[in-house]
Structure 1
Amino acid sequence: MKIAVATKDHWSQVSGHAGQARDWLVFDCQPGSPLPEPQRIALTKEQLPHHFQDTAPHPLHGVEIMIAASAGDGYIRHMEKWGARVVLTGETAPLIALQKIMTGEALADTRFDLTTTLCKLRDLFSLVDGMVRS
């Protein structure tokens, strides 16, 4: 099972605003096995899930679980189309968040993130605008 963690600060902390996260740790986990070494993926601006148009292969395609500190509803729906489930956590250490998911432990509650709130407002206005134009 491939699990990706949105990170910041040189892959050292779980990042908020998953749609804008450039640095990802991708783990190819096997149940009952030790955690593997992660693949470090640095996305270009065009590859950021927030901007990506699904017109080409993406380095995060095939990931089944995406871990982040925050994500907007539009991002979560977009990742569902990719076949990935988004898991949000207040845990700041990527490996601890991953270990908790692998062992079925509860994750720390998410922290408030202003950028996610702004994205939710933008998603809401986009939805309303689309309804008005219909």
Structure 2
Amino acid sequence: MKIAVTSQNRTSITEHAGKCRKFWVYEVANRQVSGKQLLELPLAQSFHESAHAPEPQAPHPLEGVSLLITASAGDGLKARLRQKGMTVCVTSETNPDQAVAAWLQGTLPEVASAPQDCDCGHNHDHTHGHSA
């Protein structure tokens, strides 16, 4: 099993999973971490940018990951990743290693993700905090 953790600063769990380009990817076997590596993506491969690509893309580098741990993610991203078989866990934990260990023990604190506001001009399927 693979677990990815958003870590734009390479040290802590960061927000806005859709725009994140740096992920710690953990290999897990028998509920134990067996490896960890940093995956750095070009801007075009962030979840946000790749969702708006005009033509079909090659498989995403995070395909095959079962769980994404992050500090925030919009509903649209969660739905897209769920369709690809990836569970998204939004947590208040800030340490990637501790978050993975806590998830494996069933003790990772989960929080409701706040709606993501963005001003990129794209028509997103995630909820915005704007009133009509």
TM exceeding 0.5 = yes
Aligned partner of 2:99 in structure 1 is 97
Q: Which runs of 5+ in 2 are unaligned?
A: none
Aligned residues: percent identity?
A: 31
Give the counterpart letter for 1:4 in structure 2: A
Match of 1:31 in 2: 30
Rounded to whole Å, the distance in 1 between the matches of 2:80 and 2:31 is: 30
The question of whether the paired residues in 2 share the 8 Å contact of 1:3 and 1:28 is answered with: yes
User: Where do 1:57-96 residues align within 5 Å?
Assistant: 57-96=59-98
Partner of 2:46: 48
Once residues 108 and 17 of structure 2 are traced to their aligned partners in structure 1, the CA distance between those partners, rounded to angstroms, is: 20
Decide whether aligned partners of structure 1 residues 48 and 99 sit closer, same or farther in structure 2, where only a CA change above 3 A counts: same
CA pair 45-98 structure 1, distance change in 2 beyond 3 A: same
Letter in 2 for 1:101: W
Alignment of 1:121-132 (within 5 A): 122=124, 123-124=126-127
Q: Which structure features the higher share of helix residues?
A: 1
Cα drift, residue 106 of structure 1: 3.6
Shift of 1:109: 3.8
Tell me the distance in 2 between the aligned counterparts of 1:80 and 1:74: 10
Equivalent residues of 1:91, 1:109 under 8 A apart: no
How far is the alpha carbon of 1:108 from its aligned partner? 5.6
Structure 1 counterpart SS, 2:26: strand
CA contact 1:8–1:23 (8 Å) conserved in 2: yes
What secondary structure sits across from 2:63 in the alignment? coil
Query: CA–CA distance in 1 between the matches of 2:8 and 2:60?
Result: 20
Give RMSD over aligned pairs: 2.2
Runs of 4+ residues deviating >6 angstroms: none
Aligned length: 119
Change (3 A) 1:52 1:104: same
